[in-house]
Structure 1
Amino acid sequence: MDAIGARPPEGTALSTNEGPQATDEASPQAPEPTQGESGQASGAGQPLRVRQRRQQIRQRVTQEGFVRIDSLAEGLDVSIMTIHRDLDVLESEGWLRKVRGGATAQPSAFHHGDVAYRAQVMADAKQNLAQAALEFVTPGSSVLVDESTTCLALAARLPELEPLTVITNSMAVLKLLATDQGIDLIGLGGAYYPAYDAFLGLRTSEAIQSLRADILFMSTTAVTSGFCYHQSQETVAVKRALMQAAAQRILIIDHTKFAKHGLHQLAPLSDFDTVIVDAGAAERDLAPLRAQGVNLHVVTTD
């Protein structure tokens, strides 16, 4: 079994120096001196203190959804300007979105949203969608799974149909299936993006090009006028490569995708063999897709 932590598939690389969001400490600016309760710089302990403070900011924003800047400054005993700098760095890494007066974990057309936050959204619908997607999987087949939290719910069910070969760029999926003896696991290397908990970028796309799988399961951030959209070009490039590497393509979405927006266009929904959507989708959103020839599989609530 080829796990990402042990031995990557031939031709892949696990470099973490690609792209502006590739590491937890990647930043467009040098870290500022960290202040303790006395307001003085922490000297030799500065890098660790900065990392710890930003980790606390990330966790609080994820848990609460929105946190005011003055509340963060008071809770961490630092200046408001320090919090502004921290939020700038965390936003550049994709962890959160800086808004007027604070920071939010909610996705937008420019911000994908922290993976921990997204995993909590529409959890029941994702489980129903995963159950429906299992019907398309045949034991012994090779399965491509993207880094979406929707497909993470499906990945948790794949051992029910082993033996399988599972190929993914998602670190969460790799961790989930790494110890399952019935899964032949192939990890796609490249630059690791912590906010996505996935490998993205040019090297990931190149690794996919040497593979051919029976079926692909993927999701998308937004659906607008019959097209999939995402916030980052790196995500779009990898997902396009995944689509080219699969004999059958399955898109899995919940009805909230029709109300969201993304910056970069990925592909029309008609490029997928099947689009699985939950029963919460309004007919006004589904009717145009049917008219375009999209094969819809609407999942009723169990």
Structure 2
Amino acid sequence: MTDMRPPTGPTPAQLPSDSRHARQIARRQLITEAVMAEGSMRIEDLTDRFGISLMTAHRDLDELVARGLLRKARGIVSAAPTSLIEASDLYRFSRQSTEKKAIAAAAMQFVEPGQAIFFDDSTTVLQMAPHLPAKVPLTAITNSLILMNELNGIRDLTLLGLGGQFHNWCNAFMGRMTTSEIKRLRADTLFLSMSAITDDIVFHQSPDMVETKRAMFDSASKRILLADHTKFERRALHAFADLTEFDVVIVDQATNPAHITRMRAKGINVIIATEAVSRVADVAEVE
């Protein structure tokens, strides 16, 4: 039988960190990846693999279960179905990190000083945060608590946090109160990402998320979709928008060329992230 376990690698205690909380986050990420790689595991096996007590294992798993990422029953922990249940921010942040950074860097060519911009709660959009200080003054509008914390304190950046009902699994605000606030605003640009792209239609598992992001979509002059190649391999339940409704779709270099050819044939403005980053770098070098 093929061993589906990820490489052993360092234990969380061996990972560089600045605090106990950082080690805890790193350990929970490793636990998540281990369980998702195998589908299910005995909790006792997790204690052996990660060198933690049974009590610590249950504490970590309870948090991951609360985030909707794992399930726990009778000494067994298993991965929650992700086809119709959105993975938590903890897991989403760890997936396709390199591709997301490239896409975020490419997206920055559409950010100009003085703009008011909607940023959704996606982990791909979150990767734009380190680039924003170079583009101030800006007004950033977001429902993401993580992004609010990242942007807080940036000089010459006006941060508008959208309130409403807080959802722990995505660390974001959604619902009627959130959409009501969004509808009172008008922004130059929206940057967002979604869970799945099927038949050139964008989908998401959460109807509340669709409603919140659609309100941003309708209140922005330009709409830019950030989509790594895995989005084309997934399915989700609730339709959001056709790709032709976006002004720009930014993908990574690993995206199937057939998808890119098809989208461009429909008149969709598709940008491949690494190409865009190279062009920006070339311009900067000339200047």
Superposition map of 1:237-248 within 5 A:
237-248=211-222
1:226 positional shift: 0.4
Worse-matched range after superposition: 288-297 or 113-122: 288-297
8 Å Cα contact 1:142-1:167 kept in structure 2: yes
1:296 positional shift: 0.8
Question: Structure 2 vs 1, CA of residues 280 and 223 (structure 1 numbering), >3 Å: closer, same or farther?
Answer: same
Superposition map of 1:99-110 within 5 A:
102-104=77-79, 108-110=82-84
- Structure 1 residue identity aligned to 2:77: G
**Aligned position for 1:259:** 233
Select 1:202's aligned residue among 161, 164, 176: 176
The alignment status of 1:133 with 2:107, answered yes or no, reads yes
SS in 2 for 1:139: coil
Question: Structure 2 vs 1, CA of residues 296 and 56 (structure 1 numbering), >3 Å: closer, same or farther?
Answer: closer
Counterpart-to-counterpart distance in 1, 2:45 and 2:261:
46
Percent identity between the aligned chains?
35
- Structure 1 residue identity aligned to 2:32: T
Structure with the larger RCO, 1 or 2 (CA within 8 Å, 6+ apart): 1
Select 2:253's aligned residue among 266, 279, 295: 279
The alignment status of 1:224 with 2:198, answered yes or no, reads yes
1:140 positional shift: 0.7
Select 2:151's aligned residue among 168, 177, 180: 177
1:90 positional shift: 6.2
Counterpart-to-counterpart distance in 2, 1:281 and 1:156:
25
The alignment status of 1:290 with 2:264, answered yes or no, reads yes
1:272 positional shift: 0.5
After superposition, what is the alpha-carbon deviation per residue over 1:134-165, rounded to whole angstroms, capped at 9, x for unaligned? 10011011010000000000122111100100
SS in 1 for 2:190: strand
8 Å Cα contact 2:35-2:41 kept in structure 1: no
- Structure 1 residue identity aligned to 2:136: E
Superposition map of 1:47-62 within 5 A:
61-62=31-32
Q: Which runs of 5+ in 1 are unaligned?
A: 1-54
Superposition map of 1:117-156 within 5 A:
117-156=91-130
Select 1:299's aligned residue among 273, 279, 287: 273
1:71 positional shift: 3.2
The alignment status of 1:250 with 2:224, answered yes or no, reads yes
SS in 1 for 2:127: helix
1:112 positional shift: 1.3
Counterpart-to-counterpart distance in 2, 1:72 and 1:266:
41
Counterpart-to-counterpart distance in 1, 2:217 and 2:102:
23
The alignment status of 1:163 with 2:133, answered yes or no, reads no
8 Å Cα contact 2:114-2:139 kept in structure 1: yes
- Structure 2 residue identity aligned to 1:177: L
TM-score by length of 2: 0.75
8 Å Cα contact 1:108-1:261 kept in structure 2: no
Worse-matched range after superposition: 212-221 or 110-119: 110-119
SS in 1 for 2:90: helix
Q: How many residues align?
A: 239
8 Å Cα contact 2:29-2:91 kept in structure 1: no
Q: Which runs of 5+ in 2 are unaligned?
A: 1-24, 279-287
1:202 positional shift: 1.6
Counterpart-to-counterpart distance in 1, 2:70 and 2:84:
9
The alignment yields a C-alpha RMSD, in angstroms, of: 2.7
SS in 1 for 2:113: coil
Question: Structure 2 vs 1, CA of residues 98 and 142 (structure 1 numbering), >3 Å: closer, same or farther?
Answer: same
Counterpart-to-counterpart distance in 2, 1:266 and 1:97:
26
**Aligned position for 2:167:** 193
After superposition, what is the alpha-carbon deviation per residue over 1:244-296, rounded to whole angstroms, capped at 9, x for unaligned? 01000000111111011111111111111010111111122223222332111
8 Å Cα contact 1:248-1:273 kept in structure 2: yes
Counterpart-to-counterpart distance in 2, 1:243 and 1:125:
24
**Aligned position for 2:189:** 215
**Aligned position for 2:34:** 64
Superposition map of 1:88-99 within 5 A:
93-98=66-71
SS in 2 for 1:156: helix
**Aligned position for 1:49:** none
